[in-house]
Amino acid sequence: MKTHYRVAVIGGGVVGASVAYHLTKFGWTDVAIIERNVLTAGSSWHAAGGIHALNADPNMAALQAYTIDLLAEVEQESGIDIGLHMTGGITIATNETRWEWLQSSYRTFQSVGIEDCYLMTPDEVKEKCPIMDTTGVIGGLWADREGYIDTTGTVHAYARAAKNRGADIIEHNRVLELNWKGDAWEVVTEKGTITAEHVVNAGGLWAKQCGRMVGLDLPVSPLAHHYFLTESIPEIEALDFEVPMTVDPEGFTYMRQDKKGILVGIYEINHQHWMMDGAPWNYGIELLQEDIDRIENELTLAFERYPCLNDVGIENWVNGAFTFSPDGNPLVGPVASVPNYWLACGVMAGFLQGGGVGKTLAEWMIHGDTEADAWSMDIARYGPHQSNKEYIKQTTGQFYSRRFVMSYPNEQLPAGRPLRMAPAHSEMTAAGARWGCSWGLETPLYFAPEGFEEVPSLKRSNAHDIVAAEHKAAREDVALLDITGFSRFEVTGPKAEAWLDKVFSTRLPKPGRARLAVMLSPEGKLKGDLTLFNWGDGTWWIMGSYYLREWHMRWFSDYMEEGVSIRDIGDDICGFSLNGPKSRAVIEKLTDAPIGDLPFMGCGTFDLGLIRAKVGRLSVTGEMGYEIHCKANEHIALRRMLLEAGADQNIREMGFNALLSLRIEKSFGIWSAEFTQDRTPGMTGMDRWIAWGKGDFVGREAALKEREAGTEQVLVTLGIDSAEAEAVGYEPVWQDGKKVGFTTSGAYGHTVGQSLAMALVDKGAANPGTELTTHIVGVECKATVLEPSPYDPQGMAMRG
C-alpha cells in the first residue's frame, strides 16, 4: 500500500470497482480501492445479477444500456469470466393500463436509442418462456439486451481491469477517519494513513457512515430483498435454450434461469428496512433470515405465474440488504460543502447501473462535466431537509414497495409529505388547492371544488376542465399563482456585477430591470435558464426553479470570487404572481406609486397596502403579469390583499398545471424538459439571449464554436392530433418512417384548442408546416411543426 494516491475509492463492490475502472481507463491511474473486507462483501456478492433494459426514467434506461454494452468489454479486458447470459427479457402486461404503459415505454426506448425491443403477443411470450402461465397476459415487451451475470465474477473483472491499468486493490482495510487538510484528504485506515487528493464514497451498505465521517447525512437506507433459487425443473431441462429474464409487474416478481432451475425475486408491498444508520462494520458475506410470511401474497402470485414451482423444491433462499435512495436512483457527484469528496452510492441496481455510474463519475472528476445529463443521479437533487430519518424511511419504503407498481404522470405520492409549506398553504387548501411537491415544498397544481378527486391516468386527466378554467382566467381576466416554488438567490458585494457578467452569458440588466439569464458550462452546455433582477441599489437577485437550489448553489460556489457574496433567500422570501390583462388594474388598487408605469421586464420596490414588496413586471404565461415578492411572514396577508383587490376583476387562483398549458402556447421552454445540461444554446434556441459581443464569460469559446458549426437538432413546437392524451416527453418523432427527434414536454393549449408539444428534431424536419408523426401513449398521432408561439407570436399581450 502506497502512502499517496490521486483517488481513494472507499468500497470494493461493483460500484467502487467500476469507478476505479473508469478512472484508470480515462487516464487517472493512481487510484486505490480500499475495502474493509473483501471485494463483493456487502450487497454485491448476493445480488441476483439480473440485467434488463426497462426503466421508467429515460436517462436511467440509457445508463443501463451503457452498462449492459460494457459488460462483454470488461470481461474480455480482464480475462475473467463474468458468466454473461444474454437471454433477452420480457416484461408482461396483465391489464390494459399496463399494456398501454408498455407500448408507451417501447416508444420511449426508441427515443433514447434503444432499438433492440419489440412488442409481443401472448403467444409470442409463451413461445419465449414456455414455463410461464400466460393466463391474463395481454402482451409483453421484449428486449434483446437482458439476462444475467455472475456477480462475483463481474466485480473481480472490473477490479482486475482497473488493476491492469495501474489501480491498487487493498482488502481487509477499513477506513477509520477522513480528515481534510486543506489540499488533500488524510485517509486513516487500519493499515495506516493514506494521503489522497480525492475520496470517493462507494461504501454501499456503509455509505451512511462514510458520509458522516465528513459531516454528511446522506438520504439512503438499506432494505431487505428476497429471492429464491429452485432445484432443477424438468421443463427447463427439456429446453434447448435458456428462458429469458421476465418481469411480472402485477405479480411483483422477476424471474431468470439459474442452471436448470430458476431464480425468482420479489419486490413485496410489505417492505422492511434494515440498519437505517448503516450496516455494522463487521457485517460482510452474510444474509438475513428469510421472512416467508411477509411475502406470502407475492409468493402465491409467483407460483401461479410459474406453475412448475409447485412441483420442485426451493434449493436456497436469499434475503439480503440493498441500499436505496428516496427515488431509487443513485447518489452521484461532488458535494458543495466538502472539497474533493465524491459520491457513488445508493445504487440499488449496481450490476445494471454500476457501469454507467462509474463512467459518469469518472468524467465528472477528470473533465469537470459529464457526457450525458447526470441530474437523475446528482446528489444535488436532495437538500439537507431530505436527510431526516423519517423522511428517508417513508420515501425509500415507498419506492421499494412501488418498484413494480404503475406510475402515472398526474399521480401524487404521499411519502415524506407534507414537509415544506408556504405560509398561506392552509388558506389555499381551504380554497380547494390540490398539491404537488417540488424539493419537499407543496406547490399548487390547481384549485378544485370540494369532493373532487383526480384519477391517476396515462391519458388526459379528469382535472382537464378545471385547468382549462384557470387557463382562461389568465388569458381573459386575472389569475393568482403562488410563487413560493421559485428559487431566489441574493448577490451583493463590490465585485457582484463583474462576477455575474462572467457567470452569465447574457447581457446584464440595467438598474430597475430584469432579464432572462442563460448560464453555460465551460463546454458550452446549458447550466441554467434563470431570471436576473437588478434592484438598482447594488443588490441582485437570481431566480429559478425551487428544486434546483442546491444544484445552482453548488455551481455558484465553484465560481465564487472575493468581493462577492451570494445568499440563498428561498426560505425567507415568497410571493404571488398576477397573470392576465386585468393584472394591472388589480395591483394599481394597492398603491399610489406609479406601478402602472413599470415597463415590461422592469422591477422595483413598492408599498402595496401594508406590505413593502419587490415587484417584477413579467410573467411566463405570455400575458401581462407581475411577480410580487414578500417576506414569508407576509405571505398570507399578501394573498388576502390581492384577492380582495381583484374581486371585481374576476380574479381566480391558479396552479402550475395551468401555467404549463399557458407557457407551452408561447413556446417557452423549462428546465428538465426543454433545457438540460447535456444540451446547448444552439439546440434549444437559448443562443438568442447570449450577448456575443460582451467580454469573456463561462462557456463563451465553446458557444462561439457551436454558432459557427451549427447544430443538427433544434427545438420546435408541434401541434398534435390527439383526442385522449398529451405528450409527456421522450415520445419519438417520425418523418416518413424515419426517427427525426423526440418530444421534450407537452400540454393541451386551451386557448389555441390543440394538444401541443415541444420537441428536439433534425433541422430538416424543423420548418413550420412540416408534417410529422409521434406516438402518444403508444398510439401514432399526426404532428405538425408550428410557428413559434402559437398564441400571440408578437408578444403584444405580455408587453401590455
pLDDT digits (tens, 9 = 90+) for 362-395: 999 999 999 999 999 999 999 999 999 999 999 9
Q: Is the pLDDT of residue 55 over 80?
A: no
Confidence of residue 52 (pLDDT cuts 50, 70, 90): confident
Task: Name the CATH superfamily housing domain 4-324.
Answer: D-Amino Acid Oxidase, subunit A, domain 2 (3.30.9.10)
- pLDDT at position 56 is 73
Each residue of 168-181: pLDDT tens digit? 999 999 999 999 99
Each residue of 330-342: pLDDT tens digit? 999 999 889 999 9
Distance CA 671, CA 221 (A): 29
Which amino acid, one-letter code, is at 41? A
Confidence of residue 60 (pLDDT cuts 50, 70, 90): confident
Going from the C-alpha of 418 to that of each of 123, 415, 438, 440, the distances in angstroms are 46, 8, 11, 7
Confidence of residue 135 (pLDDT cuts 50, 70, 90): very high
- pLDDT at position 2 is 95
Per residue, what are the HEC states of 463-509? CHHHHHHHHHHHHHCCEEEECCCEEEEEEECCCHHHHHHHHECCCCC
Per residue, what are the HEC states of 36-80? CCCCCCCCHHHCCCEECCCCCCHHHHHHHHHHHHHHHHHHHHHCC
Average pLDDT score over the chain: 97
Which amino acid, one-letter code, is at 268? E
- pLDDT at position 451 is 97
Q: Sketch the domain layout of the chain as residue ranges.
A: 4-324, 712-799
Q: Is the pLDDT of residue 627 over 90?
A: yes
Each residue of 661-678: pLDDT tens digit? 999 999 999 999 999 999
Q: Is the pLDDT of residue 739 over 80?
A: yes
Each residue of 199-217: pLDDT tens digit? 999 999 999 999 999 999 9
- pLDDT at position 54 is 72
Confidence of residue 99 (pLDDT cuts 50, 70, 90): very high
Closest CA to 485 of 603, 329, 627, 673: 627
What percentage of the chain has pLDDT greater than the value 90? 97
**Two domains, one topology: 4-324 and 712-799:** no
CB 69 within 8 A of CB 53: no
Architecture of domain 712-799: Beta Barrel (2.40)
Confidence of residue 800 (pLDDT cuts 50, 70, 90): confident
Confidence of residue 61 (pLDDT cuts 50, 70, 90): confident
Confidence of residue 722 (pLDDT cuts 50, 70, 90): confident
Tell me the whole-structure pTM to 2 decimals.
Answer: 0.96
The residues near 644 (Cβ < 8 Å, ≥ 6 apart) are: none
Confidence of residue 605 (pLDDT cuts 50, 70, 90): very high
Each residue of 235-247: pLDDT tens digit? 999 999 999 999 9
